[in-house]
Amino acid sequence: MEINREQISDWLKQLQDSICKALETADAHSKFEEDVWTREEGGGGRTRIIKEGKVIEKGGVLFSAVQGDTPDFLLKEQEHSVIATSGPKIKSRFFATGLSLVIHPKSPMVPIIHMNIRYFETGPNAEGQTTRWLGGGIDLTPHYIVAEDAKFFHAELKKVCDRHQKEYYSRFKKWADDYFYIAHRKETRGIGGIFFDRLGSDKEMSFEQNYNFWKDVGLAFAPVYTDLIRRNKNLPFSEKNKEWQLLRRGRYVEFNLVYDKGTKFGLETNGRVESILMSLPKLAGWEYDFRVEKNSEEEKTLDLLKKGIDWV
């Protein structure tokens, strides 16, 4: 029986529930507040926000399922997609459902994390065909890069990929390196992770097989990130570390507002602004012509914000 959009949306809501529960347990202080919203053009979602926690300063776990007229930029991508159906141009309607989350911790010793998994449909076209695909990814942005943590994070993602397709990790890690790159700073946003888009049916994997991989990416989030919280939440830090955290958050903001496709998609489809911008931290900083001290932990981190590092 073919997997349909309702099954996918229902599974994403279950995943939202389980992730929120795991994060509340890890924080041990604050609880998520839920904001249920509807979209005039069709659909809606559940935005859950946690703030002023013991570990988490601000975090959001957002489920959405929306539909409407397909934006021009997505139609252009569709025309160049290798999995687009052939034939007459599709009608300009889309359905999208997904789960997006970003966690900004209180301590600069605990890394920022982001995950997004999404499902798109466009069509049907004049021949009654619907084009559909899966996308997503998970990436880590430490304020201070710890090699042991970076190795753990990437090794866990590689395990997920290897269970489904041996070449996925190297392919999707490179994609993440290229995607989460702040070109105007000439640095990566963090240590990357995996990123993929337009997974459908291909020569190696059916849609159902890719769907199972996609689900495993979502299920990997909670155990991996709660372990990173456990490792780092009680480490001491200074005011200097907090100032550096604000500057690194500033870089995060720059990426999300300048380059992030999800932000662009939300704004160009008349999305809900509060939910789209829930990825931004409560506080961030910018300092004119900031220079790190030689041989400092900050300089060591900057030296590792580059593409192509084999963390595993």
Residue 155 pLDDT > 90? yes
The reply to whether 44 falls in a domain is yes
Query: Taking residues 181-185, what's their average pLDDT?
Result: 97
Residue 312 lies in a domain: no
Q: What value does the mean pLDDT take over residues 168-183? A: 97
Q: What local confidence, expressed as pLDDT, does residue 202 receive?
A: 77
| pLDDT range class, residue 279, cuts 50, 70, 90 | very high
Instruction: Write the CATH number for 50.
Output: 3.40.1500.10
Name 203's Cβ contacts closer than 8 Å, sequence gap at least 6: none
Q: Which of 94-108, 125-139, 159-173 has the lowest average pLDDT? A: 125-139
Cβ atoms of residues 97 and 121 within 8 Å? no
114 is known as an active-site residue: yes
Say if residue 113's pLDDT is above 50.
yes
The mean per-residue pLDDT over the stretch 244-253 comes to 98
Q: Which amino acid is at 81?
A: S
pLDDT at position 83 is: 43
Residue 103 · residue 139 · CB < 8 Å: no
Choose, from 29, 80, 114, 164, the residue flagged as catalytic.
114
**pLDDT class of 87 with cuts at 50, 70, 90:** very low
Q: Is residue 295 part of a domain?
A: yes
Give the chain's mean pLDDT: 91
Q: Which tens digits make up the pLDDT trace of 14-71?
A: 999 999 999 999 999 999 999 999 988 889 999 999 999 999 999 999 999 998 877 6
Please count the structural domains in the chain.
Answer: 1
The region of weakest confidence among 37-41, 80-84, 293-297 is 80-84
pLDDT of residue 93: 83
Apex CA 141: angle with CA 137 and CA 144, to 5°?
155
Cβ(142)–Cβ(150) below 8 Å: yes
Show the DSSP H helices in the chain as ranges. Answer: 5-27, 72-80, 147-162, 168-179, 207-232, 239-258, 261-268, 273-276, 297-303
pLDDT number for residue 35: 94
Amino acid at the residue 7: Q
- Mean pLDDT, rounded, for 276-302: 95
Report how far residue 45's alpha carbon sits from residue 99's, in angstroms, rounded to the nearest whole number. 10
Rounded CA separation 167/228 (Å): 26
Looking at the domain assignment, is residue 311 inside a domain? no
> pLDDT tens digits, residue range 189-240?
999 999 999 998 777 789 999 999 999 999 999 999 999 999 999 999 999 9
Q: What is the largest CA-CA distance in the chain?
A: 63
CA–CA gap between residue 303 and residue 297 (Å, rounded):
10
**Three-state DSSP class for 140?**
strand
Please indicate, yes or no, if residue 310 is contained in any of the structural domains. no
- The predicted model scores a pTM of 0.91
The pLDDT assigned to 264 comes to 84
Q: Is residue 13 very low, low, confident or very high in pLDDT (cuts 50, 70, 90)?
A: very high
Beta bridge pairs of residue 116: 100, 137
**Owning domain of residue 191:** 5-303
Q: Does any domain span residue 309? A: no
Strands 192-199, 131-141: pairing is: antiparallel
The pLDDT, as a whole number, for residue 45 is: 94
CA-to-CA distance for 160 and 214, rounded, in angstroms? 9
Please give the pLDDT value at position 75: 59
Is pLDDT at 123 greater than 70 in this prediction? Answer: yes
> Percent of the chain, pLDDT > 70?
92
Q: Which residues share a beta bridge with 115? A: 101, 138
Chain CA centroid to CA 110, Å: 17
